[in-house]
């Protein structure tokens, strides 16, 4: 094929906490927005309630999102479902409920959209809950797990070797380590700030799936992405799907 006729492959587009650049994060409005904007999938966060129910919410502490000074882990599911989250002065009239993971799974199956399920600290505190979570998501064709907690990544692969598990990387995780020190990870996800040395050479050399988050479409490397990048995780999926 000539250079002129070569078609650049489109990277996988996952909507970060839904289409959160337009809608409030991790709400059903943001997830429906991701579908409307043509995303391939949705990146979302999962926390565990006191009585063992998985909820889709980033913070373990509810204050930022709801103004309530409580944590997810000290509340039962019935209490959490009464909470309204959203912008500070609009929660009372335009607030959203906190979705359960089971409701989002049903939504994803109906809309045929993928899920990237990031496991948060309350799941790290109770790794025994992973079997239940993996059972719940097994109905989906396009789903994978991600976490900053490498122990959880290892546990996922032990419980289900066929489930893709991605490790979210901080700079500190590569200060005294290499990517090869995390063999259980099928994929590596990192912030766009790490698209430079001393990390760039590692991204180029690894055979694992690479996804970059924090991108908004204005980055120079988005228009001409390196071959090693498999996908983007963004608040603005429409900017990548047009």
Task: Please list the pLDDT of the chain residue by residue as tens digits (242 residues).
Answer: 333 444 467 899 999 999 999 999 999 999 999 999 999 999 999 999 999 999 999 999 999 999 999 999 999 999 999 999 998 887 877 889 999 999 999 999 999 999 999 999 999 999 999 999 999 999 999 999 999 999 999 999 999 999 999 999 999 999 999 999 999 999 999 999 999 999 999 999 999 999 999 999 999 999 999 999 999 999 999 999 97
Give phi and psi for 78, each to the nearest 5: -60, -35
Residue 63 CA to residue 74 CA, distance in Å, equals 13
Quick one: pLDDT at residue 197? 96
State how far the Cα of 16 lies from the Cα of 194, in Å rounded to an integer. Answer: 18
Residues 21-76 have pLDDT tens digits of: 999 999 999 999 999 999 999 999 999 999 999 999 999 999 999 999 999 999 99
Q: Are 140 and 108 in contact (CB under 8 A)?
A: yes
Pairing mode, strands 165-169 and 143-147: parallel
pLDDT at residue 132, rounded to an integer: 98
All residues at 6 or more sequence positions from 171 whose CB lies less than 8 Å from its CB, including other chains? 194, 199
Please, are residues 166 and 146 in contact by the beta-carbon 8 Å criterion?
Answer: yes
Q: How many CB atoms lie within 10 A of CB 150?
A: 18
Q: What pLDDT does 4 receive?
A: 44
Q: How far apart are CA 204 and CA 222, in angstroms?
A: 16
The model's pTM:
0.94
Length of the chain, please?
A: 242
- Res 92: pLDDT: 73
Q: Rounded CA gap, 133 and 238, in Å?
A: 30
Q: Cα–Cα distance between 163 and 154 in angstroms, integer?
A: 11
Helix (H, G, I), strand (E, B) or coil at 46: strand
């Amino acid at each position: 094929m000539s250079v002129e006729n070569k078609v650049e492959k489109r990277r996988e587009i996952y909507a970060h906490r839904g289409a959160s650049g337009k809608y409030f994060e991790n709400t059903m409005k943001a997830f429906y927005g991701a579908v409307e904007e043509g995303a391939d999938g949705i990146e979302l966060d999962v926390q565990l309630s006191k009585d063992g129910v998985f909820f889709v919410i980033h913070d373990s502490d509810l204050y930022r999102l709801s103004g309530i000074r409580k944590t997810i882990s000290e509340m039962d599911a019935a209490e959490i479902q009464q909470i309204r989250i959203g912008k500070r002065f609009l929660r009372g009239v335009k607030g959203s409920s906190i979705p359960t993971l089971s409701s989002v799974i049903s939504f994803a199956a109906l809309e045929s959209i993928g899920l990237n399920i990031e496991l948060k600290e309350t799941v790290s505190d109770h790794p025994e809950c992973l079997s239940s979570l993996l059972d719940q998501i097994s109905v989906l064709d396009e789903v994978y797990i991600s976490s900053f907690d490498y122990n959880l990544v290892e546990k996922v692969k032990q419980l289900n070797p066929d489930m893709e598990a991605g490790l979210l990387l901080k700079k500190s995780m590569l200060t005294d380590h290499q990517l090869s020190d995390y063999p259980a990870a099928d994929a590596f996800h990192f912030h766009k700030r790490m698209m430079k040395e001393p990390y760039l050479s590692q991204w180029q050399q690894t055979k694992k799936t690479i996804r970059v988050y924090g991108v908004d479409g204005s980055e120079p490397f988005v228009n001409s992405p390196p071959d090693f990048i498999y996908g983007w995780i963004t608040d603005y999926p429409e900017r990548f799907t047009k």
